[in-house]
A and B are shown apart, each in its own frame.
Chain A
Amino acid sequence: MKLELRGITKRFGSLVANDHIDLTVEPGEIHCLLGENGAGKSTLMNVLYGLYEPSEGEIVVDGTPRKFRTAGDAIDAGIGMVHQHFMLVPVFTVAENVMLGHEETRSLGWLDRRRARKKVLDLVDEYGLKVDPDMLVEDLPVGLQQRVEILKALVRDAKVLILDEPTAVLTPQETEELFRVMRALRASGHSIVFITHKLKEVKAVADRITVIRRGKVVGTADPASSEKELASLMVGRPVKLVVDKDRAQPGEVRLAIEDLTVLDGNGQAVVDRVDLRLREGEILGIAGVDGNGQSELTQAILGLRAPAAGKISLDGQDLAGRSPRQILNSGVGFVPEDRQHDGIVGDFTVAENLVLDMVTQAPFGRRGSINPGAVRDNARQRVEEFDIRTQTIESPAGTLSGGNQQKVVVARELSRPLRLFIASQPTRGVDVGAMEFIHKRIVAERDVGTPVIIVSTELDEVVALADRIAVMYRGRIVDIVPPTTSRGDLGLLMAGVIPSRDPAEPAPAAEPDATGTEPAAPTATNESDATPGEEDPA
Chain B
Amino acid sequence: MTEDNKSTPGEPSKAKPAPTKTTEPAGASASTPAKPSLGRAMLDAIITGNSAVVTFLAIVLALVVGGVLMILADQDVLDEYKYFFAAPGEALSSSWTLVSDAYTAMFKGSIVNPDSFSEGSIEDIFRPISETITQATPLIFGGLAVSIAFRTGLFNIGAQGQIIAGAVFASWIGFVVDLPPVIHLVFVILAGVIGGGLYAGIAGFLKARYGAHEVIVTIMLNHIAVLMLGWLLTTDTFRRGGQAQPIGKDAHENAVLPNLFGDNLRIHFGIILALLAAGIYWWLLNRSTLGFELRAVGSNPDAARTAGMSVARAQILAMVIAGAMAGLAGVSQVMSSTNPAHTLTPSIDAGIGFDAITVALLGRTKPLGTVLAALLFGALRAGGSVMQASANVSVDIVIVIQAVIVLFVAAPPLVRSIFRLRGARKGAEGGPLAAKETVGVQS
Contact = CB atoms under 8 A, between A and B. Distances in A.
A324 B305 contact: yes
B442 A41 contact: yes
23 contacts: A12-B440, A13-B438, A17-B442, A38-B442, A42-B441, A43-B440, A52-B437, A168-B443, A323-B308, A323-B310, A325-B308, A343-B306, A345-B296, A345-B304, A347-B300, A357-B308, A359-B292, A365-B292, A368-B288, A369-B287, A379-B8, A394-B18, A399-B436
Contacts of B439: 12, 15, 390-391, 395, 399-401
A220 to B, nearest CB: 20
A345 B152 CA distance: 13
B247 to A, nearest CB: 43
A373 to B, nearest CB: 6
B20 interface: yes
Contact of A401 (B290, B299, B443): B443
A383 interface: no
B260 interface: no
A280 B11 CA distance: 42
A480 to B, nearest CB: 27
Contacts of B18: 391-392, 394-395
B10 to A, nearest CB: 3
A326 B308 CA distance: 8
Nearest to A299: B306
A346 B6 contact: no
Given A323-B310, A359-B293, A349 B17 contact: no
A246 interface: no
Contacts of A459: none
Given A13-B17, A327-B308, A365-B289, A346 B441 contact: no
B145 to A, nearest CB: 21
Contacts of A523: none
A272 interface: no
Given A165-B443, A348-B299, A391-B18, A304 B435 contact: no
Given A329-B308, A392-B18, A345 B300 contact: yes
Given A352-B8, A370-B9, A394-B18, A346 B443 contact: no
A145 to B, nearest CB: 18
Interface string A493-528: 000000000000000000000000000000000000
Contact of B310 (A84, A168, A325): A325
B300 to A, nearest CB: 4
A414 B439 CA distance: 26
A341 B441 contact: no
A343 B303 contact: yes
Contact of B435 (A357, A368, A396, A403): A396
Contacts of B305: 304, 324, 342
Nearest to A367: B289
Given A324-B306, A345-B296, 5 more contacts: A13-B438, A391-B438, A395-B19, A399-B435, A401-B442
A328 interface: yes
Interface in B1-46: 6-11, 16-20
Interface in B294-353: 295-296, 299-300, 302-310
Interface string A264-300: 0000000000000000000000000000000000000
B220 to A, nearest CB: 28
Contacts of A15: 438-440
Contacts of A393: 8
A136 to B, nearest CB: 24
Interface string A299-325: 000101000000000000000000111
Contact of A369 (B6, B19, B289): B289
Contacts of A336: 306
A12 B306 contact: no
B438 A399 contact: yes
A370 B289 contact: yes
Residue among B6, B292, B295, B438 having the largest count of chain A Cβ atoms under 10 Å? B292
A397 to B, nearest CB: 10
A419 interface: no
B299 A347 contact: yes
A46 interface: yes
Interface string A138-173: 000000000000000000000000001100100000
User: 9 smallest A-B Cβ distances: which pairs?
Assistant: A372-B10, A372-B9, A325-B308, A357-B307, A402-B443, A17-B440, A342-B306, A365-B289, A399-B439
A48 interface: no
A344 B8 contact: no
Nearest to B10: A372
A57 B18 CA distance: 27
A interface, size bucket = 35 or more
A369 B303 CA distance: 21
A347 B16 CA distance: 18
A84 B443 contact: yes
Interface in A375-409: 375-376, 379, 390-396, 398-403
B21 to A, nearest CB: 8
A15 B18 CA distance: 12
Nearest to B291: A370
Most buried by A among B11, B286, B443: B443
A427 to B, nearest CB: 13
A280 to B, nearest CB: 24
B355 to A, nearest CB: 27
Contacts of B11: 372, 376, 394
Contacts of B441: 42-43, 46, 401
A235 to B, nearest CB: 15
Contacts of A168: 443
A120 interface: no
Contact of B287 (A302, A360, A372): A372
A376 B8 CA distance: 8
Nearest to B289: A365
Contact of B7 (A12, A37, A394): A394
Nearest to B437: A12
Interface string B401-443: 0000000000000000000000000000000100111111111
- Residue among B288, B290, B307, B442 with the most chain A CB within 10 A? B442
A336 B437 CA distance: 27
A40 interface: yes
A173 to B, nearest CB: 23
Given A375-B8, A394-B6, A395-B19, A12 B438 contact: yes
A389 to B, nearest CB: 9
Contacts of B309: 325, 357
Contacts of A12: 437-440
A420 interface: no
Contacts of B299: 345-348
Contact of A394 (B20, B310, B438): B20
Contacts of A348: 295-296, 299
A167 B19 CA distance: 31
A334 interface: yes
A423 interface: no
A370 B307 contact: no
B315 to A, nearest CB: 16
Contacts of B300: 341, 344-347
